[in-house]
Structure 1
Amino acid sequence: MNPIRKILMPLAGAPTAEAALGTALLVGTRFEAHLEVVHVRADNREVAPLAGEGLSGAMVEEMMTAAETEARSRSAAVRALFDRFTTQHKVPVVAPRGTMDEA
C-alpha cells in the first residue's frame, strides 16, 4: 500500500472549517503528508441566467456586485481562519509553485 503523501483540503468557510482543518492536520501528521488547502469560491456569474427570468440587466448587475462583495468578505474570513490556524498549530505555509505568491 502506498503511503499518503498529499491531502487535498477544500475550504469554503463553512462553520465546520476549523474542525476539518484540525482533522486534516491530524491525518497529515500521522502519514507525514503534505496538506494542500484550496479555497473553494462560488462563481458570481451564476446569477447571470436570472436575466432570462424577468429580472432587468440592472438588477442582475446589482446581484452580481452583491455576490462579489459577499465572496470577497467570505474569502477574507477563510484566509483569516487559515492564517490563525496555521499560526496556532505552528504549521509552515508554502505557496505552491507557479503562483503569484512566489514573487
Structure 2
Amino acid sequence: MSAVPELPHPERAEITLPEVLFALSDPERLAIARQLVNGPMEMAACSLSDPNMPKSTKSHLMKVLRESGVIRNDPQGRSRVLSLRREDLDARFPGLLDAVLAAGA
C-alpha cells in the first residue's frame, strides 16, 4: 500500500486576507478551525455539526481551509493530521485569527 500523498500548501507570503476570510466565513469551516486551537488532531477525529454530512463534503471543507492557508493537512501513516497555521496567520494578519475564532463562540 502506498503512503498518503503530501498536499500542496501556500507559502506564508502567498496567504491572502480575502481567502482566509472566505475560508472562515462558512460555519462548518470555522468550527473545524476552532477545534484545532488547542493543537493538531487527526482528520477523522474532527467533527462536523451534521454527522451525516458526506465524506466528500468534509474533504471539500478541509481543502478550502488548506488552500487558503488556514490549516495544514499532513500525512501521518495512513491518516492525516490537521493543524492550525497560527504562526503564519499571526505573522500575516496580527490579531485576525483570535478575533475571528472568538467571534460568536
Specify which structure has the bigger relative contact order, considering alpha-carbon pairs within 8 angstroms and separated by 6 or more residues: 2
TM-score (norm 1): 0.29
TM-score (norm 2): 0.29
The structure richer in helix per residue is 1
